[in-house]
A and B are shown apart, each in its own frame.
Chain A
Amino acid sequence: DARVTQTPRDKVTEMGQEVTMRCQPILGHNTVFWYRQTMMQGLELLAYFRNRAPLDDSGMPKDRFSAEMPDATLATLKIQPSEPRDSAVYFCASGFYGEIAFFGQGTRLTVV
């Protein structure tokens, strides 16, 4: 049963700390996405990769967020330093080109 795996599922951290979220996309999918979901803004695209190359990260605050895909089985999203306004659910998703086939279960981040 193919699925996108995200870790951790929940993260509570103090303001100013570094947060790293990890994602294992479905093998064979050529596009990996990072989204953030809040009640106010809904789902916002942060960044996405095609064949491991970053295509667009314009949705991320560049001064604190970074996304990488060191190999085909791992995508990471880092926030340093974290701020309370970063509190949200972060989803990784994978698929082919412009279609998201599967979302991961999400990382619920709370920055206090």
Chain B
Amino acid sequence: QKEVEQNSGPLSVPEGAIASLNCTYSDRGSQSFFWYRQYSGKSPELIMSIYSNGDKEDGRFTAQLNKASQYVSLLIRDSQPSDSATYLCAVDGYGGSQGNLIFGKGTKLSVKP
């Protein structure tokens, strides 16, 4: 059973701080990795995708991938109260771009003003 694990939180950080969200996955063959943000009562929305080892930056967001350690992380710099949401990590389940995306249960982030 392929799994994606996330700390459920809540993770509480002060406004302006760096929030660090982590995710581990079980399938060593996975090649596609995604972070989604879900506000309470809303649908998930895509924030970042990453396919290669290393860092990928997009504005205040940085995704980090380490395939050897089967670890993906998301850093949010200069956290804002509007970043308060649940962050979902998703990993392809068939070791390629097939479409079988497996989601973690999410980490709830709370940014305190």
Chain A residues within 8 Å of B, Cβ to Cβ: 31, 33, 35, 41-43, 45, 48, 50, 55-56, 91, 97-106
User: Do A55 and B99 have beta carbons less than 8 Å apart?
Assistant: yes
User: Do B103 and A98 have beta carbons less than 8 Å apart?
Assistant: no
User: Do A100 and B98 have beta carbons less than 8 Å apart?
Assistant: no
10 shortest A-B CB distances, which residue pairs?
A: A98-B97, A42-B105, A103-B43, A43-B103, A97-B97, A98-B92, A48-B99, A98-B32, A98-B99, A31-B99
Kindly name the residue among A42, A97, A102, A104 whose own CB sees the greatest number of chain B CB atoms within 10 A.
A42
Q: Which of B42, B46, B96, B104 contacts A100 (CB 8 A)?
A: B46
Report, as a range, how many residues of chain B touch the other chain: 20 to 34
Q: Which of B43, B46, B105 contacts A105 (CB 8 A)?
A: B43
Chain B residues within 8 Å of A, Cβ to Cβ: 32, 34, 36, 42-46, 49, 88, 90, 92, 96-106
Which residues of A are found within 8 Å of B103, using beta-carbon distances?
A: 35, 42-43
Cα(A31)–Cα(B98), bound, Å: 10
Which residues of B are found within 8 Å of A104, using beta-carbon distances?
A: 43
Cα(A50)–Cα(B46), bound, Å: 20
Which residues of A are found within 8 Å of B32, using beta-carbon distances?
A: 98-99
7 contacts between A and B (CB under 8 A): A45-B100, A48-B99, A55-B99, A91-B44, A97-B99, A99-B49, A102-B45
Given contacts A43-B44, A91-B43, A98-B92, contact A56 B100 (CB under 8 A): yes
